[in-house]
């Protein structure tokens, strides 16, 4: 199986000149579940936006064995499902069904296949009955589920989730954790939720100030109070 994600010495500055990534390297095997943690401003979201080509910095990014940037963004975006922190950035159609069907429709699939994939994706996130609902009227937790369904319907093999449980009440948060637990895909998720990390992610990558400062087993890092404190992390 190809390596799911390979990032080598990635540097990125925003157009205003602000540096956000300073030589990030990361390798994720197919089927791995990796948590990306670190304080606000560490560069987590910026890194994630590179994994499906929304941002392009200097350095190499490969997903599922394919180098980004050779006019293959369509394929890359069908492989890497990026779920934004704010579901309102992801959902823009009048109804839930149209949001979930949007990706497969634009891949040029037959309507039957689009319908089948969309239903399956809604089922996978436990929202089968929500197709006709208005996306913008849903709760944040429901929107987050639908946002995940929009990448599942594309049959994404690599899920990149930016703070999937941020801003959720305890029940919605637990719902997302249970949903993620059951997904078979390779997952990279940024989060401040170290309980979530302990439950679902055997490997932790810690970023700070645009660099990867630690990468290893969650059990070891969560027991290392000095490491956690040094990077603004704390177990509740
Ligand atoms: N659009 C932007 N323009 C300029 N700087 C930005 C922009 N977005 C983020 N940054 C800066 O890049 C750095 C990394 O941000 P980000 O990737 O959002 O961090 P994180 O997701 O870890 O909180 C921060 O210093 C942030 O202020
Ligand atoms: Mg962020």
Q: Closest Cα to residue 161, out of 29, 47, 13?
A: 47
pLDDT value, residue 179: 93
Ion ligand 2 — residues with CB < 5 Å: 44-45
Structure tokens belonging to residue 33 = 């579940």
pLDDT value, residue 1: 75
Cα of 190 from ligand 2 centre, angstroms: 8
> Which ligand is closest in space to the CA of residue 17?
1
Write down all domains in the chain, each with its CATH number in brackets: 32-40+74-230 (3.40.50.300)
For 147, how many CA atoms within 13 A lie in the half-sphere containing its CB?
Answer: 28
Cα of 217 from ligand 2 centre, angstroms: 22
Positions of E strands within 29-162: 33-37, 58-63, 66-67, 80-83, 158-162
Taking only the tens of pLDDT, the chain with its 236 residues reads 789 999 999 999 999 999 999 999 999 999 999 999 999 999 999 999 999 999 999 999 999 999 998 788 888 988 999 999 999 999 999 999 999 999 999 989 999 999 999 999 999 999 999 999 999 999 999 999 999 999 999 999 999 999 999 999 999 999 999 999 999 999 999 999 999 999 999 999 999 999 999 999 999 999 999 999 999 998 87
Top mutation candidate among 18, 36, 89 for ligand 1, by most atoms within 8 Å of CB: 18
CA 58 centroid distance within chain: 21
pLDDT value, residue 36: 98
43 CA: nearest ligand 1 atom: 17
* 8 Å CB contact between 113 and 155: no
- What does the alpha-carbon distance between residue 158 and residue 3 come to, in Å, rounded to a whole number? 11
The DSSP call for residue 130 is G
Cα of 151 from ligand 1 centre, angstroms: 24
Q: Spell out which residues line ligand 1, taking CB within 6 angstroms.
A: 14, 16, 18, 20, 38, 40-46
pLDDT value, residue 142: 95
Cα of 217 from ligand 1 centre, angstroms: 26
Cα of 119 from ligand 2 centre, angstroms: 30
Residue 144 makes CB contacts below 8 A (sequence gap 6+) with 83, 87, 164, 168, 172, 176
For 106, how many CA atoms within 13 A lie in the half-sphere containing its CB?
Answer: 13
Write the residue with the smallest CA distance to atom 27 of ligand 1. 41
> Which ligand is closest in space to the CA of residue 22?
1
């Amino acid at each position: 199986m190809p390596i799911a994600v390979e990032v080598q010495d990635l540097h990125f500055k925003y157009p205003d000149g602000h540096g956000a990534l300073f030589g990030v390297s990361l390798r994720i095997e197919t089927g791995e579940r990796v948590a990306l943690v670190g304080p606000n401003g560490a560069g987590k979201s910026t890194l994630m936006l590179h994994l499906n080509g929304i941002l392009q910095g200097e350095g190499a990014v490969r997903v599922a064995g394919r180098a980004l940037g050779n006019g293959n963004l369509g394929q890359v975006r069908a492989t890497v499902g990026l779920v934004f922190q704010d579901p309102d950035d992801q959902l823009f159609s009048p109804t839930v069904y149209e949001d979930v069907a949007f990706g497969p429709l634009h891949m040029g699939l037959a309507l039957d296949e689009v319908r089948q994939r969309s239903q399956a994706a809604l089922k996978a996130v436990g929202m089968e009955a929500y197709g006709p609902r208005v996306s913008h009227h849903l709760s944040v937790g429901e929107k987050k589920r639908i946002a995940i369904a929009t990448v599942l319907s594309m049959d994404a093999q690599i899920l990149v989730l930016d703070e999937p449980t941020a801003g959720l009440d305890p029940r919605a948060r637990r719902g997302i954790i249970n949903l993620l637990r059951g997904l078979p895909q390779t997952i990279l998720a940024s989060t401040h939720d170290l309980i979530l990390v302990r439950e679902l992610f055997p490997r932790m990558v810690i970023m700070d100030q645009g660099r990867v400062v630690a990468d290893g087993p969650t059990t070891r890092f969560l027991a290392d109070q000095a490491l956690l404190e040094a990077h603004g992390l704390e177990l509740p």
